Amino acid sequence: MGAAFKKLESKKRNVQIAEQIIASIQDSTYKPGEKLPPERMLAEQIGVSRPSVREALCALEMVGLLESRVGDGTYVRSTDPLFTRAQALAILEMSESPFEVLDARRILESTVAAIAAERAEQADLELMQDALSLMKQATQEKDDDAYLHANIDFHIGVVKGAKNSYLESVITPLIRTMEDRLSRAMRKSYLIEHEQERNAYKIHERIFLAIEDANPAAARKEMEEHFRDVETHLSEDYKPGR
């Protein structure tokens, strides 16, 4: 079975994608219990990037219209699409695109990490180390909310270590977008579905060690790899061979 998804016009892309998916459920093209096409196929049919599709699917999962099954795909749940439509679209309208934010952060924070490796003082290193300790504890306790809070503190600590108030004022709000509903849901998906908390903690530890060792090149490299890893896992299909 294939839905006749249409090319998009203007307006926020992830909102339009969500509207098309909701319409396909309302007209029974896809019924409760049935599986949607994979992200890659939806992106090709609609003519958009997979990250935009992922954002729409995540919002629809958050309101209970869809269910993501690790290693299998996305399924329609037995929920009234009219009831959940407004909630899902509001989430998408009010949230920044997590992928655009991650892209901007990768560009900016990679440079900031290199600068912090040259300028960070002992107090900055202690702030990062405290955040790392909380991340490790959250990983051991499998507390995703605590992990995300500590993660934010770590990245803010790196920015503070660069000793540039203008950069801090620009980048800190980007880091804080991790606290909005869509970003948090997608980051939790990354941590839980891919069992990434342990690996994510290790790469943050490598970032810290590069800054502590006053190694700008290593700090830049580790920060870039961190963001590329997050972007890759958030936008990929989970079933092998898709």
- Domains assigned to the chain: 13-94 (1.10.10.10), 98-235 (1.20.120.530)
Residuewise pLDDT in 10s, the chain (242 residues)? 555 666 655 568 889 999 999 999 888 899 999 999 998 899 999 999 888 999 999 889 888 889 888 778 899 986 676 667 788 888 888 888 888 889 999 999 999 999 999 999 999 999 999 999 999 998 888 888 899 899 999 999 999 999 999 999 999 999 998 888 888 888 776 676 546 778 889 999 999 999 999 999 999 999 999 999 888 877 654 333 33
pLDDT of residue 9: 56
pLDDT of residue 1: 55
pLDDT of residue 194: 47
Q: Tokens 């299909």 label which residue?
A: 237
pLDDT of residue 4: 62
Report whether 75 contacts 60 (CB < 8 A).
no
pLDDT of residue 116: 98
Report whether 166 contacts 174 (CB < 8 A).
no
Measure the CA–CA gap between 83 and 93, rounded to whole angstroms.
17
pLDDT of residue 152: 95
Measure the CA–CA gap between 152 and 157, rounded to whole angstroms.
9
Type and span of the H or E element at 66: strand 66-69
| Residue spans of beta strands (DSSP E) within 65-150 | 66-69, 73-76
- In the chain, the amino acid numbered 176 is R
pLDDT of residue 2: 59
Report whether 15 contacts 93 (CB < 8 A).
yes
Report whether 128 contacts 158 (CB < 8 A).
yes
